[in-house]
């Protein structure tokens, strides 16, 4: 039996050798085929991912363009309509320059002493001057979904305001061998991203300085919590925490993108989209302002306390339409004092060599105004340059052209980057403002670096977030992350599929909202009124109407089903978009489509008209909102149609309209149900 076992083992060994040696060439060919298939598979997924990304970004930028157009329309009303006009009165309060915001009287708006903290309050307690322990406790509290009491919110905002008003417009930060600088990009209300950065990198401190590069708020749901955390660390470490303003730190932008809704518009600040009117002091000690206000009375001021405007608070010498756009290259041309001198003086005023406690005490014991001094001459084009800094994007071509995609700012090329860096003896420009799939991206021969810290910006799995660590060698080191745990368990195919479905759903809503315009465009290619057009004409019409710059022929397979000999039945196609309309009693189809198409503009106007931030507007205010929108769109909407709409959405019949319920009631929904539509053919 022993011999039998030996022979069996030998046969098995021989079989193994044969299986290893004989099919080697075949195995190599199989491996090459698998490799080729896998590369094609990954390439197809990457193409789908890029196409999905283009959809999200195009829709985002189209919304920003609408916002700028609406705001320019408001500005036109302010510049050209009489102060008594009803349209102007609706919006005038959002354009008034708040002179008191540079005056110690502003502190009464942060009055917190009359607000009691109840014994049942279980959230964090703050003491002032705030300490690093307070800031760390605040981070932990928000991590556990706790809220900060309104007394502490007001007190924290007041302390931050006192510090921010005397800080310079430009911060200078140095690295040394003992510490690195951490740079974060857009957070956009994504608290979990900020918490993850702190977990991986550590809390801000004198040994771990941070730069937060703007766009802290909007789009996400925790903008206020992010601001309060950043403000608390700024108060503790004023020398080591630096907050740059982004284009979303602007109350006009907040009206559209969520921060106003989140905090009920309680804490507003000057918008960068429209310069405040020039204010000057006459011989009688009165303030002369170019700002037209309903209140004709002037405000006397102490003649010894004359105002100085900061670089980001330039005034206009004329109408907004008389100001010509300037490129970034001319930023320093008209500054009457050098940046270095202003920076040095502002840092001295801020007392940044002192501890915050000493600084706070010195401010409390001083009646001086940090803005006192000679009035600087300022120009509207300088204000436009600030808008350019906040809204602009790099482009691969040389030159500097208006950013028609976003509707504000400009596109600048590698030649502009080289000139700016050479002129100021700089080696690298780090900016934010654009979402990048990997959280960061180099361009312009690696001289411009975009950093974006809000992961899952468009959809779960759509992009990574990143932050930068930079030491004395000034070489950026990147740390990437995904804040949502669900994305870590997804395969590449699942992640791409999920974001693709979300992007296509948003695009279908956009198509449905422009239904009438699209059908009119389709009919231009259908002179015989057959209801059929070619797929090439379909793609041309889509771009002509929507102007999203998307590869419609590539998207055809995702948006168009079966065709008849290459011809598309466009009425049937609309019925198959899988968009379920809300159930309303409104019979005016034109008004309903206008609502769908311009719902973001409507919500913005609602937020403006709702001056008491109650979330409710009267029937008359609702009518004025639609009249304002119809003026902007240059379309006629009858009072009867508006009244019918108001009655149909007054759900509890109390004579007022809840803004949130109104927007939700008319939201388009993507689903499996098809909305039946009567085919005119």
Catalytic positions are: 248
Q: H or E segment at 516?
A: helix 515-524
- 129 preceded by a cis bond (ω within 30 of 0): yes
Count, in order, helices (H) and strands (E) of the chain: 24, 19
Beta bridge partners of 279: 289
Please choose, from the candidates 192, 115, 185, 193, the residue with its C-alpha nearest in 3D space to the C-alpha of residue 157.
Answer: 115
DSSP E strand stretches across 424-552 = 429-431, 440-443, 448-451, 465-470, 476-481, 532-534
**How far is CA 198 from each of CA 145, 230, 467, rounded to the nearest angstrom?**
17, 12, 11
Cα dihedral sign, 122-126-132-135: positive
* Cα separation, 227 vs 234, whole angstroms: 10
The full DSSP string for 557-602 is HHH----BTTEEEHHHHHHTS-EEPP------HHHHHHHHHTHHHH
72 C-beta neighbours (distance < 10 Å), count? 17
Please choose, from the candidates 561, 573, 570, 635, the residue with its C-alpha nearest in 3D space to the C-alpha of residue 598.
Answer: 635
SS3 content of the chain, % helix, strand, coil (to 5): 50, 10, 40
* Phi, psi dihedrals of residue 354, rounded to the nearest 5°: -95, 165
Alpha helix ranges (H) inside 297-400: 339-350, 356-364, 380-391
> Residue 209: CA atoms inside 13 Å, Cβ hemisphere, count?
20
Axis-axis angle for helices 552-559, 24-80 (nearest 10)? 100
DSSP conformation class of 93: G
> Residue 520: CA atoms inside 13 Å, Cβ hemisphere, count?
7
Alpha helix ranges (H) inside 392-491: 414-423, 485-488
Cα dihedral sign, 192-196-199-205: negative
The full DSSP string for 251-319 is HHHHHHHSHHHHHTT-S----SSSPPBPEEE-TTSBEEESS--S-----B--TT--B---GGG--BSS-
* Cα separation, 658 vs 667, whole angstroms: 14
How is residue 475 written in tokens? 């070489």
């Amino acid at each position: 039996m022993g011999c039998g076992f030996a022979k069996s083992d030998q046969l098995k060994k021989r079989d193994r050798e044969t299986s290893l040696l004989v099919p080697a060439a075949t195995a190599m060919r199989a491996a090459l085929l698998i490799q080729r298939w896998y590369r094609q598979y990954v390439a197809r997924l990457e193409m789908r991912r890029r196409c999905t990304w283009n959809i999200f970004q195009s829709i985002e930028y189209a919304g920003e363009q609408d916002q700028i157009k609406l705001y320019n329309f408001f500005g036109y009303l302010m510049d050209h309509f009489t102060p008594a006009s009803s349209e102007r009165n609706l919006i005038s309060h959002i354009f008034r320059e708040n002179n008191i915001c540079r005056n110690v009287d502003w502190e009464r708006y942060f009055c917190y002493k009359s607000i009691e903290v109840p014994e049942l309050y279980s959230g964090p307690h703050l003491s002032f001057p705030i300490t690093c322990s307070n800031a760390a406790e605040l981070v932990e509290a928000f991590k556990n979904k706790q809220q900060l009491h309104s007394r502490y919110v007001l007190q924290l905002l007041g302390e931050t305001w006192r510090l921010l008003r005397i800080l310079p417009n430009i911060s200078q930060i140095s690295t040394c061998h003992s510490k690195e600088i951490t740079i974060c990009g857009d957070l956009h209300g994504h608290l979990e991203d900020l918490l993850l950065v702190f977990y991986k990198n550590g809390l801000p401190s004198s040994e771990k300085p941070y730069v937060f590069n703007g766009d802290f708020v909007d789009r996400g749901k925790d903008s206020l919590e992010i601001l309060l955390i950043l403000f608390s660390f700024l108060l503790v470490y004023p020398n080591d925490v630096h907050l740059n303003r982004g284009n979303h730190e602007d109350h006009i932008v907040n009206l559209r993108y969520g921060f106003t809704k989140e905090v009920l518009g309680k804490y507003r600040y000057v918008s960068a989209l429209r310069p405040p009117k020039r204010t000057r002091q006459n011989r009688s000690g009165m303030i002369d302002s170019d700002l037209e206000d309903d209140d004709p009375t002037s405000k006397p001021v102490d003649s010894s306390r004359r105002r100085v405007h900061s670089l980001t608070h330039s005034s206009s010498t004329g109408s907004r339409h008389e100001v010509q756009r300037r490129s970034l290259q001319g930023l320093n041309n008209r500054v009457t004092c050098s940046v270095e001198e202003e920076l040095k003086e502002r840092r001295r005023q801020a007392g940044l060599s002192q501890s915050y406690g000493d600084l706070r005490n010195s401010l409390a014991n001083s009646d001086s105004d940090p803005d006192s001094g000679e009035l600087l001459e300022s120009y509207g084009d300088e204000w436009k340059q600030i808008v350019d800094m906040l809204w602009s994007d790099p482009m691969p071509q040389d030159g500097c052209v208006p950013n028609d995609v976003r509707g504000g700012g400009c596109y600048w090329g590698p030649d502009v980057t080289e000139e700016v860096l050479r002129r100021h003896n700089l080696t690298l420009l780090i900016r934010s403002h654009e979402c990048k799939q990997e959280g960061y991206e180099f361009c312009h021969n690696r001289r411009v670096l975009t950093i974006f810290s809000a992961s899952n910006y468009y959809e779960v799995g759509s992009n990574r977030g990143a932050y930068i660590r930079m030491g004395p060698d000034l070489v950026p080191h990147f740390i990437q992350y995904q804040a949502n745990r669900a994305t870590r368990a997804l395969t590449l195919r699942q992640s791409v599929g999920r974001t693709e479905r979300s992007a296509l759903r948003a695009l279908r809503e956009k198509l449905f909202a422009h239904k009438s315009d699209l059908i009119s465009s389709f009919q231009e290619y259908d002179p015989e009124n057959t209801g059929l057009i070619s797929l090439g004409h379909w793609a041309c019409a889509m771009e002509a109407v929507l102007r999203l710059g998307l590869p419609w022929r590539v998207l055809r397979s995702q948006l168009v089903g079966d065709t008849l000999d290459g011809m598309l039945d466009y009425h049937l196609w609309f019925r198959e978009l899988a968009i379920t309309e809300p159930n309303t009693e409104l019979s005016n189809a034109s008004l309903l489509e206008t609502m769908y198409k311009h719902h973001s503009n409507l919500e913005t106007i609602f937020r403006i008209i709702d001056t008491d931030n109650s979330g409710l507007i009267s029937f008359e205010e609702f009518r004025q909102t639609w009249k304002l929108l119809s003026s902007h769109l240059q379309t006629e909407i009858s009072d009867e149609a508006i009244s019918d709409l108001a009655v149909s959405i007054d759900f509890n019949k109390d004579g007022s309209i809840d803004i949130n319920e109104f927007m939700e009631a008319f939201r388009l929904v993507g689903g499996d149900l098809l909305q039946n539509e009567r085919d005119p053919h």
